Amino acid sequence: MIRYGIVGFGLHAVKRVMPGFHRASRCRVVALSRRDLGQAQASARQFRIEHAFASTADLCGCPEVDVVYVCSPDALHCADVLTAVQYRKPVLCEKPMAMNANQARTMVKAARDAGVTLGVAQVMRFEESVRLIRERIVEGAIGRPQVASASFFVPMLTSARTWAANPKLAAGGPMSDIGVHCMDALRFVLSDEVRTVSARAHYDSHSALEASAAVLLEFSGGMLGTVSVSARSPYQTHLEVAGENGRLSAQYAFTMERAVTVELRRGVELVESREVSNADVYAVQVDAFAAATEAGREFEIPGEEGVKNQLILDAAFRSVKSGRTEFV
């Protein structure tokens, strides 16, 4: 049984991560940290977690912690990961991996030099809906992919994650917060890498960060992908890949709370329809990292994958500023 310590035990840990651990079979949480020790102790009592700390170093130094899960705001990821690496603790880091690609590279190098496993929590790769679309593409269900699209809309103005609107703590607005899931999912299902990025963003008076954005991705194999994100719309997610012989799509593709139907169509004809569930995705992710730790092998989504996503994000933000297509 792998014992986790969660750094930055905030809303994400409460809403998503802890329910995942409750369903997990190979691991459990034994420690947490928050900047305020009193709040950390209150959270520990609420979730019946043995140890509460006010610093990442104290949590990493706890001998009962086998693995560190970094759930702190984006701006703290690099320092928190480097601390875990210093204590020789395998570390799973939330997305986006860092504030920029240089930080992400620093994290990867430090983990590699120390011989420590570093993974990135691109949790959508473990969703049944996303994996099914990838599998059907590999099997040739739609022929050679031509274009793909992913969208993610969340009404962030009502979110209790107030730090996500603070440019000192967040790597960006919805482009980095939820758009990184779309970008990573397209890379994953297409089994290809992004070569160039063209992005446009809309800003409003609520935040210095973008309120919505549209991104065009050109892949090395010639395929085109689009990513649409908004922090000002009702919740919705979607994933679609069109190929030479058909298209695969899933409304609410990245959703946990409801069943997801993956459809294969040729023209307007529905050829195949399968309903899947993503309800256990966070449990699957923490169990997968626990299994990699126990076996002493690389995690399915290593830090290098986080660097690739960060390079795409960096190019997207450059494109917004320059108005030009940017190379990754």
Domains and their CATH numbers in the chain:
2-121+282-302 (3.40.50.720), 127-278 (3.30.360.10)
- The confidence score (pLDDT) of residue 134 equals 98
- The confidence score (pLDDT) of residue 159 equals 85
Between CA 35 and CA 105, with CA 86 as vertex, the angle to 5 degrees is: 90
Which residue type is seen at 200? R
- The confidence score (pLDDT) of residue 183 equals 98
- The confidence score (pLDDT) of residue 107 equals 98
Cβ atoms of 28 and 4 closer than 8 Å: yes
CA distances (Å), 167 to each of 86, 141, 159, 194, in order? 28, 43, 16, 26
- The confidence score (pLDDT) of residue 268 equals 94
Which pair of structure tokens corresponds to residue 29?
């949480």
Which residues of the chain carry a pLDDT beneath 50?
A: none
- The confidence score (pLDDT) of residue 221 equals 95
- The confidence score (pLDDT) of residue 230 equals 98
Look up the pTM and report it. Answer: 0.97
Which pair of structure tokens corresponds to residue 46?
């609420």
- The confidence score (pLDDT) of residue 158 equals 85
